[in-house]
Amino acid sequence: MNFTAETGAQPHITLVSLRLPHFPHSAAYQDLAFSVYYALMRAGHEIRLGFSPAALGPRSILFGAHLLRHFPEGADAIPHDTFIYNTEHTTSDYLDDAYLALLRGHQVWDYSADNAAALADLLGMPVRHVPLGHVPEMSRIAAVAEDIDVLFYGSLNPRREAVIEAMRAAGLRVEVAFGVYGTARDALIARARLVLNVHFYQPGHFEVLRVGYLMANRKAVLNEVNPGETVDADLERGLACVPYEQLAATAAALIADDAGRRALADRGYLAFAARDAAASIARALPAGWQAVAGRVALPPVLPEAIVIGSGKAFDINALNIDIDARWHPDIVADITKPGLFEQDFTARRFGRLRLMRRHFAAIMISHVLEHLPDLVTAMTNCLDLLADGGLMYIAVPYDLSYGAWQDPTHVRAFNERSWWYYTDWYWYLGWSEARFDLVSQEFIASPIGAALREQGMAEEEIRRTPRAIDEMRVVLRRRSLTPAEIAHGAAMRGEHRSG
């Protein structure tokens, strides 16, 4: 048995939260994994994180096991002592014979008491209810001006669409989002006066995975509860719980009652904050998984998005980097430095940290690249910052625009061909593990270009017309190289050297 060298303690616990490239719904159970991670950290456990079956080993807890069918390793990759934390409703299409057989071979946890009982009946074996609990790190959405009356995020079906349309008919501004997670989701939550939770399946179970995170961030929640359904007793006082038929009218009443709605949000926060995630997880762990005595240091909780060259565009839901301390970014750093990942930073909101490779889901960089003398190193660092599937949102001046060269600190401008070396010609830059794919590029017209469009001029000709395009907006996606691309890159680099 291996032991942790610096402490002599029992081996680490591995949390594996399965993620599929280009499948954003892999993040649907991230709040649960987040809560378990910090609960274990606070209890003194040594934790390692993984996002694929290859990371599993002894003393593992697996989230998203229903996605194993999409990995080449499949269920065979799971050690027999892995705990599977099920997040699938018992009416989900994923609960087929193969998934049930997988669960029968392992110890199973479930976030919902009702779902755990129903799943136990299906499996013919015990399923442990391990509820979503509170850790302080969950309360991370900063207050902003609320300009959305009701927010709903999730997939739509007729019963959900009907209640949303009823709320709109009542004059409420309702925002609907699907496939939105992480910082983008949190930005919507921050703007919402009220968040709607309405069942997709019937009969419904209490969706605490959705509701608990909202309560932890002091958001008023309108929750569907029909006859025969139950809500966790310790949380019920912090929710507006009504049957399906009363959702629209209750939403209108809550939006009209600012004081009552804020009181509901406060009750929700206090109710959920009283639910100790560390104690809940400790009760569920086997006796042999002892924690490291006295270990209290916690790593910083970094957002999933990063703004480079934040300046006046500081984003409270992202990690903000700027080279100029006068803008008060989270960290002062130069994206063109080769040693970026070996540098220690002190962030005013996150404490001491190092930037992590393959951590971020999104990079926003607006009117920065044209100022950088070493663009190749900057783009290499951005590639390394992004996880596979992560997106880089870029805005730059078009090379025929007035703005391309009006600023004396500009060292370059951009056109359609400016991205080839970061995509198809990755090998020329020495990139041997990953590259960018061009997702989209948009050309923002000047008044001259807008007039030419109205006259019916072709887009390609407009782009060739000086002063017609002001700005390019480009989206790049990071992905790992295929074996064929790795071999091609090696061959091309060899040819380039010999030539």
Instruction: Indicate the pLDDT class of residue 498, thresholds 50, 70 and 90.
Output: low
Q: Can you give the length of the chain in residues?
A: 499
Percent of the chain with pLDDT over 90: 58
Instruction: Indicate the pLDDT class of residue 109, thresholds 50, 70 and 90.
Output: very high
- 200 pLDDT above the threshold of 70: yes
- Reduced to 3 states (helix: H, G, I; strand: E, B; else coil), residue 93 is coil
- 292 pLDDT above the threshold of 80: no
- The 8-class DSSP code of residue 398 comes to B
Specify whether domain 305-498 bears CATH 3.40.50.150: yes
Same fold yes or no, 138-275 and 305-498: yes
Percent of the chain with pLDDT over 70: 94
- Reduced to 3 states (helix: H, G, I; strand: E, B; else coil), residue 87 is coil
Instruction: Indicate the pLDDT class of residue 140, thresholds 50, 70 and 90.
Output: confident
- The 8-class DSSP code of residue 217 comes to T
List helix spans (H) across 236-388: 247-256, 258-273, 277-284, 375-385
Look at the domain 138-275 and name its fold.
Rossmann fold (3.40.50)
* pTM of the model as a whole: 0.60
Selection from 386, 303, 374 nearest residue 341 by Cα: 386
**pLDDT, mean of residues 176-204:** 89
The region, left, alpha or beta by phi > 0 then psi within -120 to 50, assigned to residue 199 is beta
15: tokens are 């949390």
- The CB density around residue 224, as the number of other CB atoms within 10 Å, is 23
Instruction: Indicate the pLDDT class of residue 148, thresholds 50, 70 and 90.
Output: very high
Cβ neighbours for 151, distance < 8 A, ≥ 6 positions apart: 174, 175, 177, 188, 189, 191, 192, 194, 195, 196
- 5 pLDDT above the threshold of 50: no
By CB neighbour count within 10 A (0-12 exposed, 13-18 middle, 19+ buried), where does 8 fall?
exposed
Instruction: Indicate the pLDDT class of residue 11, thresholds 50, 70 and 90.
Output: low
pLDDT in tens, 424-450: 999 999 999 999 999 999 999 999 999
Computed over every residue of the chain, the mean pLDDT equals: 88
Q: Hey, where are the domains in the chain?
A: 13-129, 138-275, 305-498
pLDDT of amino acid 230:
87
Instruction: Indicate the pLDDT class of residue 216, thresholds 50, 70 and 90.
Output: very high
Contact 306, 331 (CB under 8 A): no
- 290 pLDDT above the threshold of 90: no
Residue with tokens 């990690």: 319
pLDDT in tens, 451-485: 999 999 999 999 999 999 999 999 999 999 999 99
- 293 pLDDT above the threshold of 60: no
- Reduced to 3 states (helix: H, G, I; strand: E, B; else coil), residue 486 is helix
Selection from 187, 181, 193 nearest residue 148 by Cα: 193
Q: How far apart are CA 25 and CA 94, in angstroms?
A: 14
Q: How far apart are CA 92 and CA 269, in angstroms?
A: 30
**pLDDT, mean of residues 365-381:** 96
